[in-house]
């Protein structure tokens, strides 16, 4: 009798001990591997939108609005709360798309953003269909996993970056006075599948930089601090507002050096993206391996930083 009673009490104590441990030490699931085929399918859709709308997806053009509708439809279906923020630039209406994943601490918002507009000259598949499709698929993975992070997750697709970060600047300027301080971190993704790729990590914030550099190091891929496009994309207005920023970049019009070709492959003496801001920035202008790795790195960062 005594032994049985002791056993039951012990079992109860162990059970309550176990549940207390579960409550204080939540298990953190690893980020999923994002299917590159899904990212490429999104790029195919953006290419079709450009083909059917005068060859581009630029600010003020039908191809931009169709691109936004495409991304928004997928997010709405997955359970995101989406909103479209309107602004005016160069006499034309522009639009940002913002998607919130319900839940998490509103006072600690982890944001990922990409500009969705192309230049007039072409369909803008690497610049910046690549970043736009990558964060879309990471957002859809958040929904699929029914991720319940401690921090609040927000994704954004910016309008009219190509005329000087107009959409993202409008977003930051329209934040209420205490809202910027509630953004824990802003991650920017502008050109992730350059055909002669480099692996550049924004070095603005050491902690955010390390989340990415550790991930690549574990895969034996060298990275370099991002300097070529520094301040040339949508992280700039966030940084100016005092938000810590990070991000990834696979290179634009700058020439790849011999040392960079030695560590990353590809062609020394050629631009990272010879089709930068040109008509040839099509679905053919993508390095699948770079796009795949960068998309998986984003998923890792979102899981890691929001937990
Ligand atoms: Zn860009």
Instruction: Check pLDDT > 50 for residue 38.
Output: yes
Q: What percent of the chain has a predicted confidence (pLDDT) above 90?
A: 88
- Give the integer Cα–Cα distance in Å for 298 and 14: 39
Q: If you measure from the C-alpha of residue 10 to the centroid of ligand 1, how many angstroms do you get, rounded to a whole number?
A: 62
Instruction: Check pLDDT > 70 for residue 24.
Output: no
Q: Which of 61, 65, 137, 161 is labelled catalytic?
A: 161
Q: If you measure from the C-alpha of residue 115 to the centroid of ligand 1, how many angstroms do you get, rounded to a whole number?
A: 7
Q: Kindly report, residue by residue over 41-60, the tens digit of the pLDDT.
A: 999 999 999 999 999 999 99
User: Which runs of E-coded beta strand occur in the chain?
Assistant: 81-89, 92-101, 105-115, 151-158, 183-189, 200-201, 224-225, 245-249
Q: Kindly report, residue by residue over 189-211, the tens digit of the pLDDT.
A: 999 999 999 999 999 999 999 99
- Give the integer Cα–Cα distance in Å for 201 and 182: 24
Packing angle, helices 130-144 and 288-306, rounded to 10 = 50
Residue with tokens 């700039």: 236
Output the pLDDT for position 232.
87
Q: Kindly report, residue by residue over 216-261, the tens digit of the pLDDT.
A: 999 999 999 998 667 789 999 999 999 999 999 999 999 999 999 9
Instruction: Check pLDDT > 70 for residue 127.
Output: yes
Q: If you measure from the C-alpha of residue 127 to the centroid of ligand 1, how many angstroms do you get, rounded to a whole number?
A: 5
Instruction: Check pLDDT > 70 for residue 22.
Output: no
Contact present, 43 and 110 (Cβ < 8 Å): no
Task: Tokens for 225, please give them.
Answer: 């601090």
218 burial (CB, 10 Å; 0-12 / 13-18 / 19+) is exposed
Fold of 31-306: Aminopeptidase (3.40.630)
Q: If you measure from the C-alpha of residue 54 to the centroid of ligand 1, how many angstroms do you get, rounded to a whole number?
A: 20
Q: Kindly report, residue by residue over 53-82, the tens digit of the pLDDT.
A: 999 999 999 999 999 999 999 999 999 999
CB neighbour list of residue 256: distance below 8 Å, 6 or more residues apart: 196, 198, 264, 266, 267, 268, 269, 270, 271, 272
Q: If you measure from the C-alpha of residue 238 to the centroid of ligand 1, how many angstroms do you get, rounded to a whole number?
A: 16
Q: How many CB atoms lie within 10 A of CB 263?
A: 14
Q: Kindly report, residue by residue over 138-185, the tens digit of the pLDDT.
A: 999 999 999 999 999 999 999 999 999 999 999 999 999 899 999 999
Q: Which residues surround ligand 1, an ion (CB under 5 A)?
A: 127-128, 190
Residue with tokens 């070095």: 203
Q: If you measure from the C-alpha of residue 104 to the centroid of ligand 1, how many angstroms do you get, rounded to a whole number?
A: 30
Q: Which residues, in sequence order, are bridge partners of residue 82? A: 99
10 — pLDDT class (breaks 50, 70, 90): very low
Output the pLDDT for position 27.
56
Q: If you measure from the C-alpha of residue 2 to the centroid of ligand 1, how many angstroms do you get, rounded to a whole number?
A: 73
Output the pLDDT for position 26.
53
> Residue 161 catalytic?
yes
Contact present, 134 and 35 (Cβ < 8 Å): no
């Amino acid at each position: 009798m005594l032994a049985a009673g002791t056993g039951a009490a012990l079992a109860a104590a162990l059970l309550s001990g176990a549940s207390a441990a579960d409550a204080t030490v939540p298990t953190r699931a690893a980020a999923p591997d994002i299917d590159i085929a899904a990212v490429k399918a999104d790029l195919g859709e953006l290419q079709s939108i450009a083909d059917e709308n005068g060859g581009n997806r630029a600010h003020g053009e039908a191809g931009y609005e169709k691109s936004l509708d495409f991304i928004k439809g997928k997010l709405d279906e997955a359970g995101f709360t989406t909103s479209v923020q309107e602004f005016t630039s160069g006499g034309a209406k522009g639009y940002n798309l913002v998607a919130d994943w319900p839940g998490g601490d509103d006072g600690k918002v982890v944001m990922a953003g990409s500009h969705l507009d192309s230049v007039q000259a072409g369909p803008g598949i690497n610049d910046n269909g690549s970043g736009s499709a990558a964060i879309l698929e990471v957002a859809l993975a958040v929904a699929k996993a029914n991720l319940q992070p401690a921090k609040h997750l927000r994704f954004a697709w910016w309008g009219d970056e190509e005329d000087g970060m107009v959409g993202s600047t409008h977003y930051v300027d329209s934040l209420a006075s205490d809202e910027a301080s509630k953004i824990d971190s802003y991650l920017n993704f502008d050109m992730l599948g350059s055909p002669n790729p480099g692996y550049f990590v924004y070095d603005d914030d050491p902690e955010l930089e390390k989340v990415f550099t550790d991930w690549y190091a574990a895969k034996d891929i060298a990275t370099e601090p991002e300097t070529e496009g520094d301040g040339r994309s949508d992280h700039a207005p966030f940084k100016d507002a005092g938000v810590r920023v990070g991000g990834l970049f696979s290179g634009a019009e700058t020439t790849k050096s011999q040392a960079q070709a030695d560590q990353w492959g590809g062609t020394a003496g050629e631009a990272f993206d010879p089709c930068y801001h040109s008509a040839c920035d099509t679905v053919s202008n993508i390095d699948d391996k770079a796009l795949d790795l960068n998309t998986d790195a984003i998923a890792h960062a979102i899981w890691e930083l929001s937990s």
